[in-house]
Amino acid sequence: MTHQFVLILDFGGQYNQLIARRVREHNVYCEVKSYKTPIEEIKALKPIGIIFTGGPNSVYDPASPQCDPEIFQLGVPVLGICYGCQLMALTLGGKVIAAQEDTAREFGKATTYYDTTCPLFKGLPAEGISWMSHNDYMAEVPAGFTLPAHTAMCSNAAIADVQRGFYGVQFHPEVNHTKNGSAMLRNFLYEICHAHGDWTMEDFKNSSIQSIRDKVGNGQVLLALSGGVDSSVAAALLAEAVGKQLTCVFVDHGLMRKDEGDEVEAAFARWDINFVRVDASARFLQRLAGVSDPETKRKIIGEEFIRVFEAEGKKIGQVDYLVQGTIYPDVIESGLGDAAVIKSHHNVGGLPDYVDFKEIIEPLRQLFKDEVRQLGRELALPDYLVKRQPFPGPGLAIRIIGDITEEKLAILRDADFIFRDEIAKAQLEDSMNQYFAVLTNMRSVGVQGDGRTYDYTLALRSVTTTDFMTADWARIPYEVLDKVSVRIVNEVEHVNRIVYDITSKPPATIEWE
């Protein structure tokens, strides 16, 4: 099925992924592409609408990113956000200058007034908070544009040429700080671009299964299954598509949470695939013996994982396709145009050099994380996999401060399980985005059973976040923390003190190592 398509042109904005996520939340398919995308390629995509992102530059700087002016001759609605708004104004004959101290330089929350007869603000309250972030000011707007929104500081918080379908906003409707911002984007999609809302996970699942079958034919497929959300959903999708032609190699490094390895294996019992679980825990522990430095731990675990996967792969024989759990943020973060490269395409690095395959299959390449979870539900994966919190590849090895031993792993598994169990009993799982226990390397004096103890201090960590780039510590009710603390010190040996981490990110990171 061919979906309606919205094109997001990236001008280096920090919220480019967020814009795309918001569009897809309204069941409209979109992709983020560089502002350098040739006009002929844009025409071939046949977008029903185009969105210009924000960006850090000033549009009047000759070195700033520009778009092909022909975009405005395609007869396609355009929404410019922040830099994108100013670029639209400048390209169509307006004037943009640096804001003076007494004019419209704005940052943060601003009370904004909307003309609700404008299609972009249809059905919205006439007043609301918007998130501003701009140094520049549209001194003159192009001919034919009206000003359907303003703030106390800025008379042209939004511009609109309704006849041609061109709209621009100085603020960021994609962020949660902008009240009714999602509704504005929906208005652009449905009132202005006349979207049908034909992007659903059920349709994606069905079309992907057929596409995989067409590509693979009678070939053999190999997938390294970590037990994380991405690899698990990719495995389930391939299992539906090719069944016994798929071999999943699950490397159990012995650093997972309590019962997690068994849960992963049980989740895939319903599919007729070749599921290979490798118990490599002794091998990993041997390599990690005496290692305390977190970066060294990571390197050892990453290298050993590849070596185990390599050894198992050699037993399989000819492999035609290798599956990777690449998701859309991986693609975007690899860099678009002049946008900053946040991280390299991490799924490509470290492939076993022995694998002789025709090509890589990346079935989730088009999806954001929340969409991957939706797809997992469509594939009937159990909730404990679909809703699995971010879990580091090195597992519990970097939630144990200092060297790794069997005893420390057992302590942390039991304590972490109790923490997660009490959060579930209090029905707080959906109010926080990540929560876990950390076994510190600090011992302190305690009293248990009228006797002196000298045992470990355990730290609890829980955060709320929308993007994992920043995070705030979760305000867990005291009575829940009390239950967790009492259970751990009574049920887990060698722990006599519990602390709760109340540091946000930044300055701290979410994980301790």
Catalytic residue among 26, 134, 172, 253: 172
Catalytic residue among 3, 26, 67, 82: 82
First to last CA, the chain: 45
Inter-CA distances, 41 with 23, 38, 46, Å = 21, 5, 9
Yes or no: say if 193 and 217 are a contact pair by the CB < 8 Å rule.
no
Amino acid making up residue 475:
R
How far apart, in whole angstroms, are the C-alpha atoms of residue 153 and residue 110? Answer: 9
- Residue 174 known to be catalytic: yes
Choose among 63, 7, 20, 19: nearest CA to 367: 20
How far apart, in whole angstroms, are the C-alpha atoms of residue 122 and residue 334? Answer: 37
- Residue 82 known to be catalytic: yes
Rg of the chain taking only CA atoms, in angstroms? 26
- Residue 196 known to be catalytic: no
How far apart, in whole angstroms, are the C-alpha atoms of residue 493 and residue 21? Answer: 45
How far apart, in whole angstroms, are the C-alpha atoms of residue 196 and residue 462? Answer: 39
How far apart, in whole angstroms, are the C-alpha atoms of residue 147 and residue 156? Answer: 6
Cβ neighbours for 400, distance < 8 A, ≥ 6 positions apart: 408, 409, 412, 438, 439
How far apart, in whole angstroms, are the C-alpha atoms of residue 105 and residue 229? Answer: 42
Catalytic residue among 106, 174, 371, 378: 174
How far apart, in whole angstroms, are the C-alpha atoms of residue 434 and residue 55? Answer: 30
The helix/strand/coil state of 192 is helix
Yes or no: say if 371 and 22 are a contact pair by the CB < 8 Å rule.
no
What are the catalytic residues?
A: 82, 172, 174
